[in-house]
Amino acid sequence: FFIDMAPAYIICIFLLWPEVTERMLSLVECGFYPMKGYRDDEMRLMQNLDVICGSELYYQWIWLAFTGLLFWSAGGIFAVWVILYLNRKRLNVPKVRSVLGFLYNGYEMKEPLYYWELVQMFRKLLVLIVTFVPIPDVRARLILYGMVATAALALHVSFGPYDNRQDGAL
C-alpha cells in the first residue's frame, strides 16, 4: 500500500514544502512598529510584538526556526536527493518513474540533471531566507535578491536542464 501511495505522498510533501519553510522563516521576521508604547527605532518580532529583535528571547525563536529549517527544508531537499541518487540508474524503469517521476519528468536525462528540481527548491529557500531574515536596509535586501536571481540564471544557462526533444515538433 505504501509504495502505491508514494507518488501522492511525494506530491503532498513537495507542495507543502514551501509553505512550511515560509512559516519557519516567519518565526524570525522582524519589522519596525511605530506604535504607542514602542520605540520607533526598535525592530520587533512580527509573530510577537513584545519580543525585541536581538534580545535573548528572540534568539530562542531563531533556534526554533533554525531547527525547523534544518530538518524540514534542508533535510527535505537532502532526503529527496538521496532517493533520486540511489535510484539514478533506474529512473527510466516504469515502476520507478511512476513513483518518482514527478520530481524529474521534463528534465534532460542524458546528463545527470534529474536533480534539477532540488536546485529549484534550494533557490526558493534562498529567496525565502532573503525575504524573512531581518535586514533593515531595503537596498541590501534588493541586492541579495539580485544575487540569487543572477546565480539561478547562470546555473540555468550553464546546464540547460529542460528536456528539449520536442523543439520544433509542431
8 Å CB contact between 29 and 134:
yes
pTM of the model: 0.80
Q: In the prediction, which pLDDT does 166 show?
A: 64
For residue range 71-118, what is the model confidence (pLDDT) as tens digits? Answer: 999 998 898 889 889 988 998 899 888 888 888 888 877 667 888 989
Place of cell 511512476: 98
For residues 142-163, average pLDDT: 93
Q: Which three cell numbers stand for residue 19?
A: 509553505
pLDDT digits (tens, 9 = 90+) for 10-33: 888 888 999 999 999 999 998 887
**What does the longest C-alpha to C-alpha distance in the chain come to?**
66
On the CB side of 37, how many CA atoms lie within 13 Å of its CA?
4
User: Residue 30 forms beta bridges with which residues?
Assistant: 45
Mean residue pLDDT across the chain: 87
Residue 170 has pLDDT above 50, yes or no: no
